[in-house]
Chain A
């Protein structure tokens, strides 16, 4: 169902992604808690790539005829989950940015007023 060629291509792509992921984590472009989610996907894909039998077994187990459909389904759900978590994180973040921005502007105004008073 998969040629050796595509198995190797997928494995190489995943390994390159994992390498990039780790470099970015080390350089603090991405926080470890998010790295973990992406690392888990990579490991999952790698396992299914090396043992395609696992994919057939899994799709039978959850009642999906075609393993490819299962990949789409599971992948879709997982991506949806990650994006949802990001929406929550982003909402919280934008609230914090708003408060900080207001606080900063108000403080600057206070400082300017003090300076004017002193002069």
Chain B
């Protein structure tokens, strides 16, 4: 069984090495690929010095395009499982084992690490939480399944989902939309409780000013995704 960790990185020079080291020690059976989304800092040099396998995008694509590159890499290199772990150290790799267990035992296609099942650890601000609850409701309405943490970046996928997302993946703010996409393609989606940490370095890609735009854009994208017809993946 070939397993891949996809780490999208944009200006993560300060945190990337610690993130990779943590994965290597806590989840040694996984191969690692960092997708360097044309960082402006010295992320590329740090990756080279530390001998971390990386794909360097020649222009900045944003989080969606970067993560999709990882799924394409996974499909082409015969991986059975891929998991996205953010480069900023928010996601503890000790959970990969739990995600993998659920994925395999339930013959599942997408397992999401959720902060809001056991409600422990970093819970984000109350404003963001209510935004996330709103997306949970919208996805339930459009896809008839409850996803407690649709914005979570910690997601493990089967080969099937990898192939679906390698073909088509949302560009910006991809998590809720790609999640609904998987549900509508009749893939089996489950959640596992995880504890996330606050960020180690870098900045969240969503700050206050962008918040309103984020809500409107994702709402619109989800409704479009709900209307769109899907072949079963």
Q: A residues touching B (Cβ–Cβ < 8 Å)?
A: 97-98, 101-102, 104-106, 108-109
Contact = CB atoms under 8 A, between A and B. Distances in A.
Contacts of A104: 58
Given A102-B65, A105-B58, 5 more contacts: A98-B68, A101-B58, A102-B72, A106-B73, A108-B55
Contacts, number: 32
Give the dominant DSSP class at A's interface.
helix
A97 B171 CA distance: 12
Interface of B: 54-59, 61, 65, 68-69, 72-73, 76, 171
Interface-central residue, A101, A102, A108, by most chain B CB under 10 Å: A102
A101 B55 contact: no
Given A98-B65, A98-B171, A101-B65, A106 B58 contact: no
B61 A102 contact: yes
Contacts of B65: 98, 101-102
A106 B171 CA distance: 18
A98 B69 CA distance: 9
Contacts of A106: 55, 69, 72-73, 76
A47 B67 CA distance: 54
A109 B73 contact: yes
19 contacts: A97-B59, A98-B65, A98-B171, A101-B59, A101-B65, A102-B57, A102-B65, A102-B68, A102-B69, A102-B72, A104-B58, A105-B55, A105-B57, A105-B69, A106-B55, A106-B69, A106-B73, A106-B76, A109-B54
